[in-house]
């Protein structure tokens, strides 16, 4: 039995060490279309939390994040008060960055407004591509952008709606995480 081929994540630094959690994420979730609003919210929070740290760190703490943030239920997160924020700031299982935690709360509030306006966040976020996946058919790491015109457009719209930690680089990564963009290498068996 031949081993399946995966995208090459040897980016020349230790940030992308191939861990079991990283491989599982790559093989089963990365660039796979997501249409569940709660999971769309979860990934938006996790991508915002990732700013300035490695994705491996986020993956290692993901279960803790899901527990600490009530399974990323946007209704519950939107209602967090100062006491809950302080509780989260004491939770060593997550990234204890006050700005990022406050952003998760304000993003939950903005998320609920988008749901109200569009019927679902899924309808909103996928409307940018008319529900289609953008497949880049990458052949080399140098072909993968950190951001693009679409991530800039979505970022600007999210910011206009009150979202935080949604710059164009974070949003490009978010588009990969929820499958709007497929950036698996062309030879990857997990496309």
Q: What is the pTM of this model?
A: 0.93
Which residues span the domain enclosing 71? 32-182
Q: What does each C-alpha distance from 181 to 33, 67, 133 come to in angstroms? A: 9, 28, 6
Q: What is the pLDDT of residue 26?
A: 92
Q: What is the pLDDT of residue 14?
A: 46
Q: What is the pLDDT of residue 19?
A: 81
Q: What is the pLDDT of residue 75?
A: 98
- 134 and 182 in contact (C-beta within 8 Å)? yes
Q: Which residue has the tokens 């939390």?
A: 49
CA distance 111 to 97: 21
The three-class DSSP label of residue 104 is helix
**Is 25 a residue of the active site?**
yes
In a domain, 97, yes or no: yes
In a domain, 5, yes or no: no
Q: How many CB atoms lie under 10 A from the CB of residue 91? A: 16
| Mean of per-residue pLDDT scores for the chain | 93
Ramachandran quadrant class, 189 (left: phi over 0; alpha: psi -120 to 50; beta: rest): alpha
What CATH number does the domain containing 144 carry? Answer: 1.10.340.30
User: pLDDT tens, 84-93?
Assistant: 999 999 999 9
In a domain, 111, yes or no: yes
**Is 87 a residue of the active site?**
no
In a domain, 16, yes or no: no
Q: Which two structure tokens, joined as six digits, stand for 43?
A: 């990934």
In a domain, 150, yes or no: yes
In a domain, 170, yes or no: yes
Q: What is the pLDDT of residue 12?
A: 41
In a domain, 178, yes or no: yes
Mark the ranges of the chain whose per-residue pLDDT is less than 50: 10-15
- Active-site annotation holder among 16, 25, 39, 152: 25
State how many domains the chain has. Answer: 1
In a domain, 20, yes or no: no
Q: What is the pLDDT of residue 143?
A: 85
- Active-site annotation holder among 3, 15, 30, 47: 47
DSSP state of 185: B
Q: What is the pLDDT of residue 13?
A: 46
Q: What is the pLDDT of residue 9?
A: 64
**Is 186 a residue of the active site?**
no
- Active-site annotation holder among 55, 80, 124, 174: 55
- 78 and 104 in contact (C-beta within 8 Å)? no
């Amino acid at each position: 039995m031949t081993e399946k081929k995966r995208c090459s994540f040897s980016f020349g630094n230790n940030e992308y060490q191939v861990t079991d959690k990283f491989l599982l994420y790559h093989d089963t979730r990365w660039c796979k279309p997501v249409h569940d609003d709660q999971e769309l919210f979860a990934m938006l929070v996790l991508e915002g939390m990732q700013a300035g740290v490695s994705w491996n760190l986020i993956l290692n703490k993901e279960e803790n994040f899901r527990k600490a943030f009530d399974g990323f239920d946007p209704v519950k997160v939107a209602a967090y008060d100062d006491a809950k924020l302080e509780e989260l700031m004491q939770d060593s299982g997550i990234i204890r960055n006050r700005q990022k935690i406050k952003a998760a709360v304000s993003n939950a509030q903005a998320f609920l407004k988008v749901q109200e306006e569009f019927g679902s966040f899924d309808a909103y976020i996928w409307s940018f591509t008319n529900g289609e996946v953008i497949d880049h058919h990458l052949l080399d790491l140098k072909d993968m952008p950190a951001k693009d015109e679409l991530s800039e457009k979505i970022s600007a719209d999210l910011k206009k709606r009150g979202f935080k930690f949604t710059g164009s680089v974070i949003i490009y990564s978010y588009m990969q995480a929820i499958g709007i963009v497929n950036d698996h290498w062309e030879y990857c068996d997990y496309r």
